[in-house]
């Protein structure tokens, strides 16, 4: 490490890029059980933000694990490293002015606090997608809960691995009884009200 000398000053600044994009770079970090609706809501929010003229990026659990983190498993150590790498990538995106949507179970408060510390508290919005376990199991579009209940998947969050209710969430999104569209609209309104985005949307 002693021979590594990061030099970001010679590149165009974040302020310059945000001015060009007419938006504030930030991370919206969706956490919740598998099947809670994180990716579905984030996808809807992403499409709506783009439609309104924002420039976004999306980091999603399965996509990341098939790429940059394909060498990681699901041990405690690997889960922590998974979150650390994602946070570092998201931090780079924010530095380039992008609104970055991150969709990860990130089951432990310590993992979410790590992500917040890496990205920076002023650029980090933690959204807890609060969907009851029984609803997540009813959806189970990937069949993961069924496999975990049969003992075919070990360390599956919500079944044989813990999920800690966020103790520092900026937004709690209750999804039970709501349509996807309602949840997306709620998130869009929250982002506009709390993110200090500069662009005015008509």
**202 catalytic per annotation:** no
Q: Which residues pair with 127 in a beta bridge?
A: 30, 171
Query: How many angstroms separate the CA atoms of 112 and 105, rounded?
Result: 10
Compute how many other C-beta atoms are within 10 angstroms of the C-beta atom of residue 2.
4
Please state the φ and ψ torsions of residue 92, each to the nearest 5 degrees.
-65, -40
The alpha carbon torsion through 96, 183, 127, 136 (nearest 10 deg) reads -120
What DSSP assignment string belongs to 22-82? TS--EEEEEE--TTSSHHHHHHHHHHHHHHTT--EEEEEHHHHHTTTTTT--SSHHHHHHH
Q: Which of 34, 106, 117, 195 is catalytic?
A: 106
Spatial CA neighbour of 27 closest among 83, 73, 74 = 83
Alpha-carbon separation of residue 133 from 63, 154, 162 (angstroms): 23, 17, 12
Per the structure block, which two tokens stand in for 121?
A: 């508290």
Catalytic residue numbers, as ranges: 106
């Amino acid at each position: 490490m002693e021979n590594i000398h990061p030099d970001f000053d010679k590149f165009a600044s974040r302020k310059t890029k945000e001015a060009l994009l007419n938006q504030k770079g930030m991370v919206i970090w969706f956490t919740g059980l598998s099947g809670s609706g994180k990716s579905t809501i984030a996808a809807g929010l992403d499409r709506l933000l783009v439609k309104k003229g924002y420039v976004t990026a999306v980091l999603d659990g399965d996509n990341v694990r098939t790429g940059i983190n394909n060498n990681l498993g699901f041990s405690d150590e690997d889960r922590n490293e998974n979150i650390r790498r994602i946070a570092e990538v998201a931090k780079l995106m924010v530095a380039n002015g992008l609104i970055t949507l991150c969709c990860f179970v990130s089951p432990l408060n310590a993992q979410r606090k790590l992500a917040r510390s890496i990205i920076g508290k002023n650029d980090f919005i933690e959204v807890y997608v609060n969907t009851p376990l029984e609803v997540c199991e009813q959806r189970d579009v990937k069949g993961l809960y069924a496999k975990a209940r049969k003992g075919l998947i070990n360390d599956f969050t919500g079944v044989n691995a813990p999920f800690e209710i966020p103790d520092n969430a900026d937004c709690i999104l209750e999804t039970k009884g709501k349509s996807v569209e309602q949840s997306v609209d709620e998130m869009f309104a929250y982002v506009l009200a709390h993110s200090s985005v500069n662009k005015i949307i008509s």
